Structure 1
């Protein structure tokens, strides 16, 4: 199914589809994509970012119910949450290298004080390892909104939380080269050249450096499956085309002709 032109409908109409799509992404991640010791949940809050889908690592079998593992809180750190990803050897994971080649990689240490004013608060005892975010009109409606989105995305990457950003909305005056370009400039300090195709699918792998896997897209294109990183160099493929189509299949008929016309 080709990507639709979502500028043909009001923000509230896209909002309805947005929720249906993230629910399909969550469902397929849990049903057949994620390894058994990971799970996905929709619409929790991580430091005010408001992620659409969280990917978390479950507690080890011998952990206490409160996630303390018999010590003073998560990871034995007086109840504080550690945003770092799981031990690469844990759980016998069978994760793959991404099929896509990275579009860019930082060549300098990430400036860790850039977002010091943002506080990430843990909403459960399980560790967040990745976030999927579908960009909405609300993320672009003001300069403050777009700066907040970019700042929090950069902060989460600095905290070793992998991201996938799906931007099916065309660039505007506040993001003339798309939100990915703003995120990359925030973490690398260098602007990206303008891309010819206006929409963007981006996955970010974060470790000692940050690598971006970017697929530019346009209205009428089919969606490319994208890597969602759970560990550095270890990812699962998220079937974006299949989940998009499943969400559109149950989209209200009232609005389909305007999008398909």
Structure 2
């Protein structure tokens, strides 16, 4: 299933797909991809990442020790690094506001350890939306939360070098540039002091890669983006599937 040109449809249509894709990813993670002590939830964050977002109320009787340093499962980074093109070490319109993310929490304290975000048009089509998205990413990474960001929209006037440059800033280096023929972005981040980025540029027509979602700085799970995209696509109305399957957007945009 190739990546479609989502600039052909308005933000409301992508929002509907976004909702279903987030749900499919969460289901896939909970059906055996995550180690037993972790779980995924589709959650909506209207504001930034604060203590109330990072922690859920612990159910009565569910107290326990802090989360284990090493999950019983997942892939060890040092043994099987993600197959991505670039690895870097660190030296809000209404639909964007409604958009959900997948959070990964640990059962010992129900704190967020990782998040998966799918970029919406409203995250990039105005300066306030982009600033809010970047601020949320910075807050998560600073809190030690690991991120996976998927951006199926090409760079625009507010993110001319793509969403990764907007988030990663000067740590990208002066020579950073997305390949001209791969303007879309799948990027995973290790949060905390030893931050790293794992970037795979993609394009309309490409198959989506599996991307790492880190649970700790050393361990990740591969997220089946292609399979979950296909499942969400199959639930879209036939009319809009035909519009999106018709090919590149006409000159002047849709």
Give the TM-score normalised by structure 2.
0.79
CA shift for structure 1 position 155: 1.6
* Segments of 4+ moved more than 4 angstroms: 54-59, 66-69, 189-192
**Relative to structure 1, is the Cα distance of residues 141 and 67 closer, same or farther in structure 2, using a 3 angstrom cutoff?**
farther
Shifted more, 149-158 versus 1-10: the winner is 149-158
- The match for 2:18 is 18
CA shift for structure 1 position 206: 2.1
Give the TM-score normalised by structure 1.
0.77
How many residues matched?
223
- The match for 1:99 is 82
CA shift for structure 1 position 179: 0.9
State the distance in 1 between where 2:174 and 2:55 align.
32
State the distance in 1 between where 2:217 and 2:56 align.
15
CA shift for structure 1 position 49: 5.4
CA shift for structure 1 position 193: 2.0
- The match for 1:155 is 139
**Relative to structure 1, is the Cα distance of residues 57 and 145 closer, same or farther in structure 2, using a 3 angstrom cutoff?**
closer
CA shift for structure 1 position 7: 0.4
Residue-by-residue CA offset, 1:148-180 (whole Å, 9 max, x unaligned):
111110121011000000000111100011111
CA shift for structure 1 position 141: 2.1
Where structure 2 has 5 or more consecutive residues not aligned to the other structure, the ranges are 92-104, 247-254
State the distance in 2 between where 1:161 and 1:8 align.
33
Q: How does 1:1-261 map to 2 (within 5 A)?
A: 1-45=1-45, 48=48, 65=60, 69=64, 86-89=67-70, 92-97=72-77, 98-100=81-83, 103-107=87-91, 126-185=110-169, 188=171, 190=173, 193-196=176-179, 197-261=182-246
Contact 1:38–1:56 at 8 Å: present in 2 too? no
- SS of 1:27's equivalent in the other structure is helix
**Relative to structure 1, is the Cα distance of residues 58 and 212 closer, same or farther in structure 2, using a 3 angstrom cutoff?**
farther
Residue-by-residue CA offset, 1:187-241 (whole Å, 9 max, x unaligned):
x385562212110000001243211000000000000000000011100000000
Where structure 1 has 5 or more consecutive residues not aligned to the other structure, the ranges are 76-85, 108-121
CA RMSD of aligned residues (A): 3.0
